Structures are given as C-alpha cells and as structure tokens.
Amino acid sequence: MVLNRIALFFTMLMLVTAQTVSAQAPDFIDLAAETTPAVVNIETTSYGQRSSRRGESDGEQRGNPHDELPEFFRRFFGPEGEGGGGGPRSRPDRRGGGSGFIIAEDGYIVTNHHVIDEADRIIVRLADRREFEAELIGSDEGSDIALLKVEAEDLPTLKFGNSTKLRQGEWVIAIGSPFNYEQTVTAGIVSAKGRTNGAQQYVPFIQTDVAINRGNSGGPLVNMKGEVVGVNSWILSSNGGYIGLSFSIPSEVAQSTLDQLRTQGYVSRGLLGVGIEDLGLEEAEALGLDRPRGALVNRVEADSAADNAGVKVGDVILEFNGQRIERFSDLPPLVGATRPGTEAELLIHRWGKEQTVTAVIDELPGAETEGSERGRRAGVARNQLGISVETIDAASRERLGDPEGGVLVTGVQSDAAYRAGLRRGDVILMINNREVGSSREFSRVVEDIETGKTVALLVFRNGTTTFLAYTPERED
C-alpha cells in the first residue's frame, strides 16, 4: 500500500513537471505556418566561359570576402559542381543556391550578396513550387545583402521588425533551404549582439544558436511576432557544418541597404578616417582610463573627417553620437551607418581628460558596387563592344589603385562582355594590343575593330591585370 502511494506520488510529480515544461516551451506551429510561405529557394548559375584572373583558383569564387579568413570562417553557401582542372575559359558552369524571402507583393526578394555573387542566371522557387527568373536590382558586399525582383503579383510577404529590441535569450526561428531541403524551420535563442568579422566590419551581427547550414544563406531570422529581425549570413564552424554559432545581419542594416539599392543602386557609407585598435588593461591604465573601453586611435588620415575635427593619435573614442563604444569593433558599424556629410559628435579621452569634438563624416570611397544590375546596364553603349567608359580623373585613379593609363568601365550592356568577366569599375588598359588612355582614344580604337571579330582586352582590377576576350554581338 505504501509503495503504491509512493508510485502514485512520483507519477503525479512527473505529470506536473511535464505540464510545466510544456507550458513554458514556445509553440512554433502557428509562427511557422504564417512565415514559411514567403520564404524562397534560390538557384544560381555562373557560365563557364567566364575568364579568371591570373593566379586565381578555378574552384574559388572571385572576390570572396572571406579569402583571407581562417578555414573555420566560411560562408554556409557554396557552389555545387565546381570543376577543377583546366585554365581560364575551360571551367564548366557553376551552380549554387541559397535562400531568400519576399518583402513586397509585387516580387521584391531579399537574399545575401554572396548567394548571387557573379551569377549569370538566378532562379527563384516559391513555396507553392512556382519558378521565376529573377532580376538583380542591386547587391552590396559590405553588408552581404542583395535585392532581387521577379515578375509576379499578390505574393506572400514578411515584414521587418526592430532588431535593436532583441534581447539575449530571446527565442527566434530561421527558415531556409539547408542542403536544398526547402522550407526548413529551426529554432534557438539570441546568444549575443554586436558581433563582427573581418569581411563585414560595418555589420553588428546577431549571434544565435539556431541550427543553420549550407543553403540557409539569405533566409530570414524571425522573432516570435513573425517579424524579420535578421538575414542569415554565416556560421563559425570547424567542420563546415553547424556547431551552434550562427550569425545574422540585423534588420536595420538590411533595411538601410535595401532602401539605398532601390533608390540609387549602391550603398554609401560614412568614413571617419582613423585607424583604431582595442585596449588592454595596461594600455587603459597608461592612458588614464578606469578600465579598458573605447577605440584607441593609432592612425589619423590627413584631411579626413577625424583630422579636421582635431582627433589625434593616442585619443580613445568613448562615444559616437551619444552611443557608447565599449570595444573598438563597436565604432565601424556606427560610422558606416552615418550619412556622409552629416555632423557627428565624438566623446574622446585624451591623456586623462575627456572632451567632445564634432566631425563632418566623409564618404567611404568605392561605394558604387559592381553588384548592381542597374549599374551594369546603366547608360547606352554607342560602340560595338557593348560597354560604356569614361576618362579616369585623378581622384578616381588613386582610389582604383593607380593604374597606368586606361579608361574606367561605367556600364556593361553586352551579355558577351559580361559573361567574359568584364564588370563596371574595371579599367581597360589595352584593346587588341593598343593602349587606351582616355574615352576619346577608346572610341578611335573601337572604330577600327572589325565586326564579328574577337577582341582582347587587358583589364586592371584590384591591383591585378588580366586578359579578357569575347566576340561582340552583331547589331541587328
């Protein structure tokens, strides 16, 4: 009898415990049903005819922002079927994929820059299995955000929420296509905020423990209200798969990027003009700080916003427009998000004393990215090469890496030129072994090119020269 009572007691205790746990655990059923219809699968194709830069591996995407990062820092998007072997122009078509989500009923879709980077064809597959070929409206490597457009109406959408209100420990879900398993939902909590990496120093990433893997790139991070608070971007992994460290672009950063891509085709960012580093305990004591905090200035660029404001080497920036700088990595996202030409107040610590200075923020050079399809198609090419160029001024020449001579490519209207690898922002040094140093010289050289003949261009990009060749399309 006593044993029966003891058994009954423990049975009741287990039931109560189970009910308590069930009552505390979040219910994702309705949330998943409401949000998954607006999440899409993205498939990309990069034509194999594209040339590679000299010394570039055929198995790596050109311009990968993580080339310099350790092996465990890798995107969880990767092209499939990347063939090795062969030199430039012998590489087979490359296919890749990722995720995205619809933000407007008429077909605007958000994804990651690295998902569609250098893609020649982008296919979007909706939750109802319909497929569309997408137009690339704009793409920004600095924030890893891209905007696509498909021709459709009355599509399901997701709305952005306020990521600044996210709290550590808050429940969130991720939706995407890991390993091409479409409409996959995973859940976890916000682990931390304000994380950074070397490739996107202007993005204060949201860290979560949501299970995210290859193919989740570009999918939404959703709060319990069904709002998008982040765009899933990368993971930290020692084996290429999920180990509990996932990172998403905050909704505020994504929205700012998308607004600029839609209105001007590129993203402009603020520039202060300083080199900064973190402080240790000894540096803080030597500089007269009560504890390690702020961003220690180790370089001030001449005639920069910081220089004109009176910032000096050895200063410690404690606040930017009233926002505290605890670690040096807190400063770049705040500066980058500031509109160029506006004033910003800096609270600085200088050898035991604090003072406030006002800086007029400059613009980060090279804001117009080649990822913008609008930019790629901008202008009308009035020559048989199907490209638009302009003479390079002194300021642009310095920003481009001081190429000797050449003309700046401002638009690539020819599909053949684009498939060959020519991009807006490239510098054409020679055409068929003839040097071009101005738009007038470019026109004279192009006039002598025979119709239907293959042309060879010597192109300068990021300090490297390479030959690209293609046959211009015949005019109708």
- Which positions are catalytic? 114, 144, 217
The three-point CA angle 448-449-450 to 5° equals 115
Residue 309 in tokens: 């404001």
The single residue listed with the structure tokens 């893609």 is 119
Buried b (16+ CB within 10 A) or exposed e, 159-198: ebbebeebeeeebbbbbbbbeeebbbbbbbebbebebbbe
Residue of 217, 262, 215, 272 lying closest to 65 (CA atoms): 217
| Amino acid found at 257 | T
Judge residue 221's burial from the number of C-beta atoms within 10 Å of its C-beta, 0-12 exposed, 13-18 middle, 19 or more buried: buried
Bridge-based pairing state of the strands 464-470 and 455-461: antiparallel
Q: Cα(463)–Cα(445) distance, rounded to whole angstroms?
A: 24
Residue 131 in tokens: 């497929």
| Amino acid found at 189 | I
The single residue listed with the structure tokens 């200035």 is 297
Q: Residues near 49 by Cβ (< 8 Å), separated by ≥ 6? A: 89, 419, 420
Residue of 404, 5, 73 lying closest to 235 (CA atoms): 73
Q: Residues near 325 by Cβ (< 8 Å), separated by ≥ 6? A: 293, 294, 295, 317, 318, 319, 331, 334
Residue of 284, 314, 289, 290 lying closest to 300 (CA atoms): 314
Cα first-last separation, the chain: 98
Q: Cα(253)–Cα(272) distance, rounded to whole angstroms?
A: 19
Q: Residues near 44 by Cβ (< 8 Å), separated by ≥ 6? A: 79, 95, 96, 97, 98, 115, 116, 119, 121, 122, 123
Q: Cα(242)–Cα(391) distance, rounded to whole angstroms?
A: 48
